[in-house]
Each structure stands twice: as structure tokens, then as C-alpha cells.
Amino acid sequence: MSVITLDNVSKSYRTYARPWDRLKEAITQRPRHQEHHALKPLSLEVGEGRVVGLVGANGAGKSTLLKLIAGTLQPTTGTVTVKGQVAALLELGAGFHPEMSGRENVYLGAAVAGLSREHIESRYEDIVSFTGLADAMERPVKTYSSGMSARLAFAVAMAVEPEILILDETLSVGDGAFARRSFERIIDFKNAGKTLLFCSHSMYQVEAICDRVLWIDQGQVMLDDEPPVVISAYSEFLSKQAKPPSPENQTADWKQEQKLARLLNVQVAADGGPALKRVTAKSGETDLTIRVRFQSSQ
């Protein structure tokens, strides 16, 4: 059963070369704008329990697509149908009142999501424990770092117990301990058979979590397939986009450094086992051994 359906959905914005062109257009009724197509017409279905990843460059249209599904943006064309309760972490600190304390924002976020005060009170200690912010819950959120805000937002979203979770680069902020706790919580969410849309620049996270990946570029889906297929194609695209520095920009020191050593082989082993062709992420801790073989010119 599909819980998310997009039918010919697109999103466009009007852009003006100069601020007063907007006024001229209103007075003369002659167009003085250009159309920026943040997302070109797209039809898409996501089944219940699927974990879909989005990859692509900044400005490709990933966040626009997630906002359309979350309902924080309205499409220019087409219709978006979502079945089930949605929790979305789209922008850091979005939905928080900066002057209110962390504790007050927990209750505010829960109320916006339709939860009763009694329900959130029963989960409050778990939320604080997960964030590790017990000493900061009475401080205004405006005094929080980006990592602290991310912890609080993620904990509140998970407390809502949504059927559909939308994450936009949530795990890219915060310290390593928070990232691991969040990763494990997402794995639990996935194992519970719930639906997840996950946007990240970390190919490791995408391949570990997702069972389907969309590569978006310039507002359109370039590829929609299983994670290894999409990640391989996207990585190859990035490699072709990366141009080596031009000779005139290379200093003599830089050229000399290139001759110091040559990488011959890299092997990765997990928990003392043999070298792996592919490392698969799993919940918990894994001891990795990395062996690097190189040839020195000195």
C-alpha cells in the first residue's frame, strides 16, 4: 500500500533581476520575471515500510521535495497525498521558539503534533535522557548550539511516534555520540516497519539505512533504484565533476608533495576477521581494522 503519492508534482518560483521589477510587473501587467524550477514535474509512490534516500548536490531539489511531502510547501502543479502521521525535521530549529526554554519547546512541539500534555509528560524523561541536555532544558533555545538544537528536535520528533518520518541532513550535526544514538533509533524505526524519507550527503548512511534511493539533480530524478546502483552512478558522476587543479595553480611545493608516496592498496576488516569487499553497517559497535599499503619515493 502506498502511503505517499505524488502525481505530476512540480514547484516553481518567480525570480526578478531587480527588486523594482516586481512592482513594474504589477503595474504594467507585463512579465518581468523568470521561472526557477526547483522541482520539475514528478510522479512518485512510496510504499508503507519503505526507507527512501535522497542524494544529490546542494540546490538539486531534495529539500523542496521533502517539504512538499511534509506539507510545508504547496506544489505549483500536481497533487501530494500522504496517509499517516508525519514528523519532519527539515530545518535546524524549525518550530522552536528561541525565547522559550528547551522544556517549554518540548511541550510546544508535542502540542503542534497533536499530542496531549499527559502523553508528553510520560515521555519527557526519555526525551531528556536521549538528548543528554538535562542541564540545559531550562535555558532558552536561542542559547543552544546547532548540535544541541538537533538533539532536541530529533528527540521530540521520535516522541511523536510518527508513521512517516522525514529527515533532511539531521545526522550531519551534533557530536559522534548523538549521531550514533540517532542512527540506532532510526534503525529501530525502520525495523518497526515504518516509512522513512532520508536525505544525506553521507553515502555510508544512505546505503546502510535505505532500501531505495533517488538521485535528484537540477530539479529532476536522474535515477530511482536500489542503493548500490544509485550510489555507484552518483559517485561516478561526482568523480567526473571533480576537475584536477590547473597547472598554473599548482605551486612547486604541491608538485613535489605528489611524488612522496603512491597508494597501492587499502583493506578493511571487521572484528578481527578477513579483509572485506564491502562493509555493511549494523546497530551497535564494530571494531574496524584498516590496512594501507603504499610505496614511498624516499
Distances (CA, A) of 110 to 103, 122, 281: 11, 12, 32
* pLDDT value of position 248: 59
Tens digit of each residue's pLDDT, the chain (298 residues): 899 999 999 999 988 888 888 888 888 888 888 888 999 999 999 999 999 999 999 889 999 999 999 998 999 999 999 999 888 888 666 678 889 999 999 988 878 777 788 888 888 998 899 888 999 999 999 999 888 888 888 888 888 888 999 988 766 656 677 778 888 888 899 899 999 998 988 888 888 889 999 999 999 999 999 999 999 999 889 888 776 656 655 555 545 555 667 777 888 888 777 887 776 655 556 778 888 888 876 6
Q: Locate 73 and state its grid cell.
A: 510547501
Helix ranges (H only) for the chain are: 19-28, 62-70, 102-112, 117-131, 146-159, 176-191, 203-209, 227-241, 252-257
* pLDDT value of position 298: 65
Q: Please, are residues 66 and 72 in contact by the beta-carbon 8 Å criterion? A: no
* pLDDT value of position 177: 74
Report field, pTM of the whole predicted structure over 0.85: no
What is the C-alpha separation between 159 and 110, in angstroms, rounded? Answer: 8
Domains (range + CATH), the chain:
46-240 (3.40.50.300), 252-296 (no CATH)
* pLDDT value of position 217: 94
Q: Please, are residues 32 and 25 in contact by the beta-carbon 8 Å criterion? A: yes
